[in-house]
Amino acid sequence: MSEHHGPATGIQRWLYATNHKDIGTMYLWFSFAMFFLGGSFAMVIRAELFQPGLQLVEPAFFNQMTTMHGLIMVFGAVMPAFVGLANWMVPLMIGAPDMALPRMNNLSFWILPFAFAMLVSTFFMEGGAPAFGWTFYAPLSTTYAPPSVTFFIFAVHLLGASSIMGSINIIVTVMNLRAPGMTYMKLPLFVWTWVITAFLLIAAMPVLAGAVTMMLTDIHFGTSFFSAAGGGDPVMFQHIFWFFGHPEVYIIILPAFGVVSEIIPTFSRKRLFGYSSMVYATASIAFLSFIVWAHHMYTTGMPLAGELFFMYATMLIAVPTGVKVFNWIATMFGGALTFETPMLFCIAFVFLFTLGGLTGVMLSLAPVDFAYHDSYFVVAHFHYTMVAGAIFSMSAAVYYWLPKWSGKMYNETMGKVHFWVAFIGFNLTFFPQHFVGLAGMPRRIPDYALQFADFNMMSSIGAFIYGFAQLLFLYNVVQTIRKGKVNTDEKTWEGAEGLEWTVPSPAPFHTFSTPPTVK
Amino acid sequence: MTNIVDTKKKRTTVILLVMVAAMFGFGFALVPLYDLLCELTGINGKVVLVPYDAKNVEVDEQRIVSVQFLALNNSGMPWKFKPNHNSIKVNPGASTSTSFFAHNPTQNLMVGQAVPSISPSGAAKYFHKIECFCFNQQELKGGAQADLGLQFFVDKDLPKNIHTITLTYTLFDVTQKVASSN
């Protein structure tokens, strides 16, 4: 056993980092930065849509904004944030001294800044950044793409490599480094959701890599995977993309389920209701995610049998998701509830994610989807699941574990202000988008018909409020770390359970060098 | 103890890496799978691009099916391209000939490739081409024009609910592709 030693000093600590806490911290700050970058693109979009007509940006640039907003939020903000959270929490939760493959961990983080530098540099290239939407349908992304698409393709390759390595690391850690007595059915739910997410990533990301590789050879090497002239088929692109794309949205949301399943019991002062049903529900959602992809493609002219299969399979997902929602409610039912900031975000998550789930059931109906397809209704739906799902749960996670990470307590009043501003801003932004969508406003357009003006103005005002709420979030985090009230309690929250609350606060550089025994 | 954990870690990592490689391969395997599925079911209206070997075909004199023809140019294709007959009524099983007109208005030699598609897609399996210009690439000198022949018959097993079949040709400019492959 080597001697305990502290971290290296200066920049070397971060460049050569192999400690799971340091790497987790880097992931979290990096995703925070990307969240603000992607958010600033959203502000440009909402500013342009404040009024009908073209005010601020050219349509071509607007398309770059919608594309890069989606790409950066999905691959730069949400995914690295949850990988960072996993890096920090998984070893602490299972009683492991570190991640199983620390050097690969270093590599998987340090790929990211280069990948995003490459992606963002496309703004300064001739023809501008990718403008074909985050779904990059061929032939828009092949025949009609700006020259910068090649950089986009390599950036996606790198991001894929990074998340695959991160996933392998998490699975190897959980399978081999659990503390004695920590059986699979005793794993905290956050760890469970991450193991399942990691398997989703391993199955889905290589397919995405394949899709962009086919684009690359179509563009540069004369193949015709997606070109009908050479015997290919552009619709096949959509099949391959969504075979990755649908599991991808669960990759984003499953760790969020895990976070909420940790926090709600703490502030309800009860054990999580239906632990094993939660595990099985998560696994069922993961399985179903691979057989529903074509519900994104109802309007491509599928045969009736296909539409029906994908419709029923999609509606089936509501069952395990319903199990989860009812379990969270049952956990709160009859509990001694207190409403600290993390709990507020989690309750808002349960409420708003359910709304997003219900619009999802509406969209799953093939006959009506022909009307909703590519409208703002879809935008409202996936922001209710992605923002109120992933981002709200991430905010909850930061407030919940920040005292453990930093050894300082955040200011509860400021936390609550952040929550309420975010909650109001979020709903003001996205609730009206259901209405304009149902009334026929298409997504990804820089201008719109006059009758949508009022709701769009509300939406834009809401977006600015929501953007401001994130500045409060940043302020809260920085203030807590710099000047927060010192909190050295091992157990920050009265009702908290789990191994991470048995180590000192702030969590020392090395924890569980001797594995704890779990009864 | 530590060594056992290390071996187990290595094993898990290798298994997972194999899964990654397998899924990357699966992404590419989707391409032939997709074509196979479409060929078996005719889902995307794709038609087999080889002549149909017609032997002892019975003609169903009782039934009349209307076959419509459409011609489209893919973007950037300057040729004039249209069917010489917009619609033909045929008996299933009876071989019918028709033609499309193509004219190259540019000054240069160009090569075109027509890609067929049939709707409703359920009819794709029952539309047989004995001879089709889409089996080959079409070369036209600058200013030249040609009638492109098509000989086909409709299978007598065509589902009863289909009364009209639409055959669409999309004409692609493959001049560059042909030049670069030579």
Query: pLDDT tens digits for A53-69?
Result: 999 999 999 999 999 99
Q: Say if the Cβ atoms of A214 and B12 lie within 8 Å.
A: no
- A208 chain-B contacts, CB cut-off 8 A: 27
Nearest-CB residue to A203 (from B23, B38, B173): B23
**Residue A188: per-residue pLDDT:** 96
Nearest-CB residue to B26 (from A207, A236, A306): A207
Minimal CA separation from A300 to chain B, in Å: 9
Nearest-CB residue to B174 (from A172, A225, A229): A229
Minimal CA separation from B9 to chain A, in Å: 6
Distance between CA atoms of A78 and B44, rounded to whole angstroms?
36
User: ipTM of this model?
Assistant: 0.87
Q: Say if the Cβ atoms of B44 and A235 lie within 8 Å.
A: yes
**Residue A1: per-residue pLDDT:** 40
- DSSP assignment of chain B: -HHHHHHHHHHHHHHHHHHHHHHHHHHHHHHHHHHHHHHHH-TT-----S-----SPPP-TT--EEEEEEEEEPTT---EEEES-SEEEE-TT--EEEEEEEE--SSS-EEEEEEEEEESGGGGGGEEEEEEGGGS-EEE-TT-EEEEEEEEEE-TT--TT--EEEEEEEEEE-HHHHHHH-
| Residue-range domain boundaries for chain B | 1-41, 65-181
**Residue B23: per-residue pLDDT:** 94
CATH number, position A430: 1.20.210.10
> Cα B18 to the chain's mean position, in Å?
36
Distance between CA atoms of B182 and B177, rounded to whole angstroms?
9
Say if CB A480 and CB A418 are below 8 A apart: no
A12 falls within a domain: no
For chain A, give percent helix, strand, coil, nearest 5. Answer: 70, 0, 30
CA nearest B7 in A: which residue?
A176
CA nearest B30 in A: which residue?
A240
- B13 chain-A contacts, CB cut-off 8 A: 100-101, 168, 172
Question: B64-111: per-residue pLDDT in tens?
Answer: 999 999 998 987 889 999 999 999 999 998 889 999 999 999 998 999
Q: Say if the Cβ atoms of B181 and A222 lie within 8 Å.
A: yes
> What's the Cα-to-Cα distance from B180 to each of A217, A221, A331, B75, B153, rounded to whole Å?
15, 11, 66, 20, 36
> What's the Cα-to-Cα distance from A43 to each of A50, A74, A463, rounded to whole Å?
10, 17, 7
Read off the pTM: 0.89
- Reported as type and span, the H/E element at residue A409 is strand A408-409
Please name the fold of domain B65-181.
Ctag/Cox11 (Pfam 04442) (2.60.370)
Minimal CA separation from A468 to chain B, in Å: 41
The residues of A carrying an active-site annotation are: 69, 98, 134, 162-163, 246, 248, 250, 261, 295-296, 321, 324, 443
Give, as one character, the DSSP assignment of residue A452.
Answer: G
Phi/psi for A419 (5° steps) reads -60, -50
Q: Say if the Cβ atoms of A172 and B31 lie within 8 Å.
A: no
- A211 chain-B contacts, CB cut-off 8 A: 27
β pairing state of B145-154 and B96-103: antiparallel
Lowest average pLDDT, out of A112-121, A124-133, B11-20, B173-182, goes to B173-182
The owner of tokens 């800044």 is: A113
Q: How many domains are there within chain A?
A: 1
Distance between CA atoms of A254 and A257, rounded to whole angstroms?
5
Minimal CA separation from B83 to chain A, in Å: 19
**How many residues are there in chain A?**
519
Nearest-CB residue to B115 (from A206, A225, A229): A229
**Residue B177: per-residue pLDDT:** 78
**How many residues are there in chain B?**
182
A8 falls within a domain: no
A11 falls within a domain: no
Give, as one character, the DSSP assignment of residue A446.
Answer: S
Distance between CA atoms of B78 and B73, rounded to whole angstroms?
8
**Residue B155: per-residue pLDDT:** 87
Q: Write b or e for each residue in A429-450: b if 16 or more Cβ atoms lie within 10 A of its Cβ, otherwise e.
A: bbbbbbbbbeeebebbebebee
Which of helix, strand or coil describes residue A143? coil
- Reported as type and span, the H/E element at residue A34 is helix A20-48
- A204 chain-B contacts, CB cut-off 8 A: 23
Q: Give the residue from B2, B10, B13, B50 with the most A CB atoms within 10 Å of its CB, the best one to mutate.
A: B13
**Residue A361: per-residue pLDDT:** 95
Tokens of A98: 């570190």
A507 falls within a domain: no
Minimal CA separation from A132 to chain B, in Å: 18
CA nearest B171 in A: which residue?
A229
Closest CA to A41 of A59, A78, A77, A67: A67
Q: Say if the Cβ atoms of B28 and A214 lie within 8 Å.
A: yes
- A228 chain-B contacts, CB cut-off 8 A: 74, 115, 170, 172
Closest CA to A72 of A115, A110, A29, A125: A115
Nearest-CB residue to B34 (from A230, A239, A306): A239
The ranges of chain A with pLDDT < 70 are: 1-5
A64 falls within a domain: yes
Vertex A262, ends A257 and A266: CA angle to 5°? 140
Q: Give the residue from B7, B11, B24 with the most A CB atoms within 10 Å of its CB, the best one to mutate.
A: B24
What phi-psi label fits residue B76: left (phi over 0), alpha (psi between -120 and 50 degrees) or beta? left
Confidence category of residue B35, pLDDT binned at 50, 70, 90: confident
Say if CB B139 and CB B119 are below 8 A apart: no
- A306 chain-B contacts, CB cut-off 8 A: 43
**Residue B54: per-residue pLDDT:** 65
Write the single-letter amino acid at A25: T
- A207 chain-B contacts, CB cut-off 8 A: 23-24, 26-27, 30
Q: Say if the Cβ atoms of A101 and B181 lie within 8 Å.
A: no
Confidence category of residue B51, pLDDT binned at 50, 70, 90: confident
**Residue A313: per-residue pLDDT:** 96
Confidence category of residue B49, pLDDT binned at 50, 70, 90: low
Residues forming a β-bridge with B110? B140
**Residue B37: per-residue pLDDT:** 81
